Amino acid sequence: MRKHAWADDAFFYHIYPLGLCGAPLYNDFQSAPAPRLEQLYRWLDPIQRLGATALYLGPLFESSAHGYDTADYFHIDRRLGDRRVLAEFSKELHRRGLRLVLDGVFNHVGRDFWAFRDLLAQGERSAYAGWFQNLDFSRTSPYGDPFAYEGWAGHYDLVKLNLVNPEVCGHLFQAVRMWVEEFEIDGLRLDAADQIVPDFLTELGGICRTLRSDFWLLGEMVFGDYTRLLSQGGLDAVTNYEAYKGLYSSLNDRNYYEIAYTLKRQFGPQGTYRPDELYSFTDNHDVDRVASSLKNPAHLLPLYFLLFSMPGIPSIYYGSEWGLTGCRQPGSDAPLRPALDLERGFSMPHAELAEWIARLAAVRAHCPALRRGEYCELFVASQQFAFLREAPEGSVVAAVNATDSPAVLELRLPWERGVLKDLLRPGDSFEFSGGRVPGLDLPVYSGRILTLAAN
């Protein structure tokens, strides 16, 4: 059985700092550090009012452009500040009781990475020739370099590291030690984790938990069987892209059977990932904003209802709590990663969505069954869905309606009789007997989270 981690109870707020803070698109590697990261202090009160307990910050370390093209793992990107700025920000987070998770980009580096620059200058004489995957001096690269190398997913501005080279691993592990000791980080989200060799992940996990016994490692995996990463012992959780897709497309297609199938396959009585927690999200820095993906804006309410009631660790991407829109453009993710100020958010058309998310987060925070309870499907229709979450501390029924008309469900429960009390709407309750709830009414575009109380 997997050991319980602090992140299982967490609610993450995800920020892409280079975008939110309005950093220049490209690093000139000459300017003095600009402490743009300090803009995030103003976000901390709203983040906590939302109910978030952990902050996941996208790439912070010196890079060429978007942060995933690292130039130096030991320096903060000068467009955001310096190590002092990050250390002080981390102290304030922890003073508030917030956890801090950073992006660990270990699969690849940028062409400005110092060791790759040495390779460009020294060629085969470079002491770092063994640091890069599939280096070949008999061919040229698409950039015209006198050697070929492997780029991540065919992107040759992202140079794949040779993670079986002990020197490479040692360099990366030394950087992680510095991040933990100097910035007191609580965890890492590993970019492209499914492309990283298993031995590296296992060794990284061991090192991190030697530094901090409660250190948490999340792996990014877009496609495939998540058990391939979770079974190796290095990671605590994996990004749940399967559920991400089902959350919005079930609403667009009026087909809750899709997300119901996913959750049953993942977390039901015979579920593939029952002992594990997956990281749940409705959008992030790589995919269209969910407010742009949904055909009906009113579906934002049932969408987030499911995010906070289904199994998994929920995450909100900055601005999406106000219904911020944005779609990927050919060759650019910039629309997904905009500069954003709080005043703009408070005046957006769906600003009330943040209050709904805060209510859901508060119920989840006080309900162990929603954070760690077993999952069992109770009812599925095209636009209504209900399930049970059971934990030793108590059980709850979550039921959601995605239509513009009230719905009435008949549910069968594993209890003979009792009273169900609505945690979202105190005062609403439903008596049942014979294991049957004959008329559970659901509001339009909303749902109920019902706890079992004594008669």
Determine the pLDDT at residue 274: 82
Cα separation, 180 vs 211, whole angstroms: 7
CA distance 412 to 410: 7
Sheet containing 108-110: give its strands across: 108-110, 155-160, 151-152
Q: What is the pLDDT of residues 290-347, one digit of tens each?
A: 999 999 999 999 999 999 999 999 999 999 999 999 999 998 999 999 999 888 777 7
Structure tokens at 122: 């020294």
Reported as a pLDDT band with limits 50, 70 and 90, residue 453 is confident
Give all domains of the chain, ordered by start, each with its CATH number: 6-109+163-370 (3.20.20.80), 110-162 (3.90.400), 373-453 (2.60.40.1180)
CB within 8 Å of 101: residues ≥ 6 apart: 12, 54, 55, 56, 57, 185, 186, 187, 188, 189, 216, 218
Give the model's pLDDT for residue 48: 98
232-268 pLDDT, tens digit per residue, is 778 999 999 999 999 999 999 999 999 999 999 999 9
Q: What is the β-pairing status of strands 237-239 and 216-219? A: parallel
Element (H, E) at 201: helix 198-211
Strand order in the sheet with 418-422: 374-380, 384-391, 394-401, 446-453, 418-422, 429-432
H helices then E strands: how many in the chain? 14, 21
pLDDT for residue 349 = 80
Instruction: Express each pLDDT in 399-446 by its tens digit.
Output: 999 999 999 999 999 999 999 999 999 999 999 999 999 889 999 999
- pLDDT per position as a tens digit, 190-222: 999 999 999 999 999 999 999 999 999 999 999
Q: What percent of the chain has pLDDT over 90?
A: 91
Encoding tokens for residue 422? Answer: 């609505």
pTM (two decimals): 0.97
For residue 44, the one-letter residue type is L
Q: What is the pLDDT of residues 356-411, one digit of tens each?
A: 999 999 999 999 999 999 999 999 999 999 999 999 999 999 999 999 999 999 99
pLDDT at 342: 86
What pLDDT, on a 0 to 100 scale, did the predictor assign at position 1? 39
Mean pLDDT over residues 37-66, rounded? 98
Q: Has residue 119 got a pLDDT over 90?
A: yes
Q: Looking at per-residue confidence, does 230 or 130 come out higher?
A: 130
Model confidence at 3: pLDDT above 60: no
Closest CA to 298 of 437, 444, 417: 444
Residues 6 or more apart from 122 whose CB is under 8 A from it? none
Q: Exposure pattern of 4-23 as b/e (b: 16+ CB <10 Å)? A: ebebbbbbbbbbbbbbbbeb
Q: pLDDT (tens digit, 9 = 90+) per residue, 67-85?
A: 999 999 999 999 999 999 9
Q: What is the pLDDT of residue 277?
A: 81
pLDDT of residue 183: 98
pLDDT interval class at 454 (50, 70, 90): low
